[in-house]
Amino acid sequence: MRIFLHILAISPALWLMWQGGLLYDFQDNMLTANPIKYIHHYTGEWAIRFLLLGLAITPLRQIIKWPNIIKYRRMIGLYAFFYVVLHLLNFVVLDYYFDWATILKEIIKRPAITFGMAAAVLLLPLALTSTKGWIRRLGKKWRRLHRVIYVIAPLAVIHNFMMVKADLFVPFIHLTILILLLGYRLAPKLGFSYTRG
Count of C-beta atoms within a 10 Å radius of residue 5: 13
Of 55, 76, 86, 117, the one binding ligand HEM (CB under 6 A) is 117
Position with the least CB separation from ligand HEM? 44
CB crowding 138-160: b at 16 or more within 10 Å, else e: eeeeeeeebeebeebbbbbbbbb
- Does residue 119 belong to the site contacting ligand HEM (CB under 6 A)? yes
d(CA 53, CA 75): 11
Rounded alpha-carbon distances, angstroms, from residue 144 to 34, 96, 132, 149, 195: 41, 36, 16, 10, 23
Q: To the nearest whole angstrom, how small is the minimum distance from the Cβ of residue 132 to ligand HEM?
A: 24
Label residues 49-68 b or e (16+ Cβ within 10 Å = b). Answer: bbbbbbbbbbebbbeeeeee
Residue type at position 44? G
Contacts to ligand HEM from residues 176-195, by CB under 6 A: none
User: Per CB under 6 A, which region of 54-62, 119-127, 137-145, 186-194 contacts ligand HEM?
Assistant: 119-127
Residues 34-73 that bind ligand HEM (CB under 6 A): 37, 40-41, 44-45, 47-48, 51
- Any contact of residue 120 with ligand HEM (CB under 6 A)? yes
Q: Which is nearer to ligand HEM, 47 or 178 (CB)?
A: 47
Select 41 or 61, whichever has its Cβ closest to ligand HEM.
41
Q: Which is nearer to ligand HEM, 77 or 184 (CB)?
A: 77
Alpha helices, DSSP H, located in 110-168: 111-128, 132-138, 140-146, 149-163
Q: Which of residues 90-109 bind ligand HEM (CB under 6 A)?
A: 91, 107
Among 73, 74, 146, 159, binds ligand HEM (CB under 6 A): 159
Buried b (16+ CB within 10 A) or exposed e, 10-31: eebbeebeebbeeeeeeeeeeb
A 10 A CB-CB count for 70 gives 12
Closer of 62 and 78 to ligand HEM (Cβ): 78
Write out the residues near ligand HEM by the rule CB under 6 A: 37, 40-41, 44-45, 47-48, 51, 84, 87-88, 91, 107, 113, 116-117, 119-120, 123, 156, 159-160, 163-164
